[in-house]
Chains A and B, each alone.
Chain A
Amino acid sequence: MTWCRRGLGILVSVVLLLGLPSLAWGAENPLGSGAEVIAEGHALFNKLCTVCHGVDGAPGDRGPAMAAQRRYLRQTDTELFQAIQEGIPDSEMPPMGLPEDDAWRIVAWIRSLRAKAIDVPADGDIQQGSNIFWGKGECGRCHVISGRGGLLGPDLTNLGAQMSLNRIQEAMTVEKPHPPLGYRPVTVTTKGGRTISGVSKNEHNFSLQMIGDDDRLYLFSSEEIDKIVYGEKSLMPTDYDRRLSESEFRDLLAFLSRLSLRRRESSSVEPNQTP
């Protein structure tokens, strides 16, 4: 886990960003959103702002996280720039009055933290990452990419365009307090004595719809059920930072961050390629 957090700055490689029409962010930034600009912004932030905010944009003692799962008040480059330079009235965020270019550098870095993975795809061996997905990581047992794979977890075909790199990492390393809706582990024993385990897609007092671990859909009416036992923990394993080596984890991230319908053509490996 620790290397994972610390390593984020290194893992995030920011190649090929300029000139991609799909990138709205960085458009207002006079310095653009190149890798160097972002790296400089990152260093500046850690140096200047961590009295209050946390290192690397984590939550700090006196200031909020720069990228977290919450709604941001300030969405655009300009809004962030203004917050930094002019401060936020009636709050502890002071006007920083930095040299303009430095402020823009920090803005570029904050935006990269909030970007979807496909906007800032991780560095690494993509083919190797695909091998780990379908092989050692056993991800394909529970996840579908482009029609192939298991059904217990969400479809990951468009993962890179849906989640930030940060959140993808967290999904593999940080246990959720509760299994999310639609993925609650469940074991049903029928009145006929048969036992089916899987995840509950929907349920209430009178019926239950589930995907079994045989990847089939089961539809129960409550009269048919003898017993329901729920799993406390999500089926998603969260020990991949230990289960995989550092380089394997990095390669997997490189693969996952490029899973996107929007850029399918330009990705260098077929997402559903067999190892």
Chain B
Amino acid sequence: MIAEMSNRAASIGRVLRCAVVAGLLAGGLSAGEVTYEQLLDPPPENWLTYGRTYDSQRHSPLDQITKENVSQLAPAWIFPMPGARRLESVPIVVDGVMYVSQPNEIYALDARAGRQIWKWRREPARQRGNNRGVAVLGNLVYVSTPDAHLVALDARTGSMVWESEIASSEDGYWSPAAPFAIDGRIIAGNAAGDYGLNGWLDAFDATTGERLWRFYTIPRPGEPGNETWAGDSWKTGGGATWLSGSFDPELNLLYWGIGNPAPDFDGEPRRGDNLYTESVVALDADSGKLRWYFQFTPHDLHDWDSVEIPILVDAPYKGRLRKLLVHADRNGFYYVLDRETGEFLEGVPFIDKLNWASGLTETGRPIRVPGVEPTLQGNFVCPSTSGATNWMSPAYNPATNWFYLAVKEGCGVSYKSKQEFRPGGFSYAATGYIESPRFPWQMFVRALDLTTGERKWEYRQVNSRHYGAGLVSTATGLIFAGDDQGFFTALDAVTGDPLWHFNTGTRISASPISYAVKGRQYLAVCSGVNVVTFALPAGPEAD
């Protein structure tokens, strides 16, 4: 019966009616399959992919929670993840079932009651890195693991259906990103760039687990781009794919941000631009072939992974409707690109303290300020290596036409030394950085004009000392944000004013979502070791 509901409901009113129909049929809910058509146009009540939609806008069409009633928002349920440390998972919700993950584990929960339906646990061969969520397609749930495997489970029971290797964990790889489901294919990345292990992006057959294509983020000899690496330095170039990406089904292009080059802080052994590190790549979804790329930080020296989620928007730019890709980079600049061609359109800083570049050229290349490189004694740089933003997802609201993001202001001191590469998964950073005591860490939520990057407002997260959460935008003009002090906060998308907050008590480092079950809208976010959800107290069950 969920098939009836899957026809795109344009408004929550429609959703409510559908829910009533479902309610009459079963009295409860029955979880159904996820089709590619649903992934293309997700029903408002479901959150089916990492960024909700393929364009990663993280904008929920649900409209029950409004600026007027948000002050009444209250916890609905809390699910503590057994054994968790710090969750970074983005929950996925399909027809009232929530799938939430931590390394080597997935829980399927009743999204209304917070009660466990099943749990999958993989005997941990390794515990490396974090886990940022699952993907769903058909009857299967997909997750990548700390030993760099992609695993497919039966969504109804958590039974394993197949498992494929993404990369060798013996070599030192792991895989923290949420897999990405498109038509019949699951895209999965890997991590280990700071170990000097080269990254790639794989596509697997969704039903069999067979690998269909692989894109190497560091071009091999004979491939264009290999000449941007001095000598043999490409062999240990890094370029991890440790976060999800975005997809344009019409252009059939996948957009993925690529991590930093190695050794991270010593550029000497790897002279050149070091493609495709610190770039966004546009890949043909059928073949994995590179269509175009844009490099944000050529020859990066500060470990500024460019993995931040790119958001795709069709919007007027200088009088003409353009297919845009916007991206706020860890290096402190906000970029607007044409996503058909990769052409650079705009680029402006979104932080006040930025000292490594004086601006961008006409083609978007940074104009470097000399003398900001890491040194043996340490050198001052803004932003610091932790970056002006990071894995926490930004959001876009089509009504305001603004881009919203978590921003860090702060500077660091970067050091370098000589280091030899060691195979098997060992750091190849050639030293590192500290946060500068002179400019301590400060987090903000900022709203930027989509095409100019002009700052519209900012909300200062007082006393923040660490990264906070990603954002979700709603059709009612709300932005939900979280911070390291544990506060989950609703902001007015137009003014940035805080309208409601709740102290979850533990650091929020994940990105929130919104979903609905039987006509009742929820917000959910991983906070510390808990999945915490909120709804309006007398939330009208569909009746």
Contact = CB atoms under 8 A, between A and B. Distances in A.
A219 B159 contact: no
A94 B113 CA distance: 57
Nearest to A155: B159
Interface stretch (A7-15, A23-31, A121-129, A191-199): A191-199
Interface in B112-137: 112-113, 115-118
A163 B459 CA distance: 57
Nearest to A215: B156
B120 to A, nearest CB: 10
Nearest to B152: A147
Which residue of B112, B156, B157, B541 has the most chain A CB atoms within 10 A of its CB atom? B157
Interface in B75-131: 96-97, 110, 112-113, 115-118
Interface residues of B, number: 27
Interface string A241-266: 00000000000000000000100000
Given A217-B97, A221-B541, A207 B31 contact: no
Given A201-B118, A219-B113, A223-B541, A196 B26 contact: yes
Contact of B110 (A151, A196, A219): A219
A207 B115 contact: yes
B27 A194 contact: yes
Contact of B31 (A190, A191, A216, A224): A216
A130 to B, nearest CB: 18
A163 to B, nearest CB: 16
A221 B115 CA distance: 11
Interface in A191-237: 191-192, 194, 196, 201-204, 206-207, 209, 211-212, 215-221, 223-225
Contacts of B160: 155, 157, 261
Interface string A92-129: 00000000000000000000000000000000000000
Interface string A183-194: 000001011101
A55 interface: no
Given A147-B154, A147-B162, A155-B159, A224 B27 contact: yes
A151 B23 CA distance: 24
Contacts of A188: 27-28
A75 interface: no
A218 B157 contact: no
A144 B115 contact: no
A157 B158 CA distance: 12
A51 to B, nearest CB: 42
A154 to B, nearest CB: 9
A78 interface: no
A146 interface: yes
A190 B117 contact: no
Interface in B9-46: 23-32
B27 A225 contact: yes
Contact of A147 (B31, B112, B161): B161
A221 B28 CA distance: 7
Given A157-B159, A190-B27, A221 B116 contact: no
Interface size class of A (residues with CB under 8 A): 20 to 34
Contacts of A201: 117-118
Interface string A54-86: 000000000000000000000000000000000
Nearest to B32: A216
Contacts of A219: 28-31, 96-97, 110, 112-113, 117
A219 B27 CA distance: 9
Contact of A206 (B113, B118, B162): B113
Contact of A191 (B27, B115, B118, B159): B27
Contacts of A217: 30-31, 97, 117, 156
Interface in A144-163: 144, 146-147, 151, 155, 157
Which residue of A212, A217, A220 has the most chain B CB atoms within 10 A of its CB atom? A217
Contacts of A144: 154, 157, 159
Contacts of B159: 144, 147, 155, 157
Contact of B156 (A191, A202, A211, A224): A211
A220 B161 contact: no
Given A157-B160, A207-B110, A209-B110, A218 B117 contact: no
Interface of A: 144, 146-147, 151, 155, 157, 188, 190-192, 194, 196, 201-204, 206-207, 209, 211-212, 215-221, 223-225, 261
Interface of B: 23-32, 96-97, 110, 112-113, 115-118, 154, 156-157, 159-162, 541
The 9 A-B residue pairs whose C-beta atoms are closest, nearest first, are A190-B27, A207-B113, A220-B28, A155-B159, A147-B161, A224-B27, A217-B31, A219-B29, A192-B27
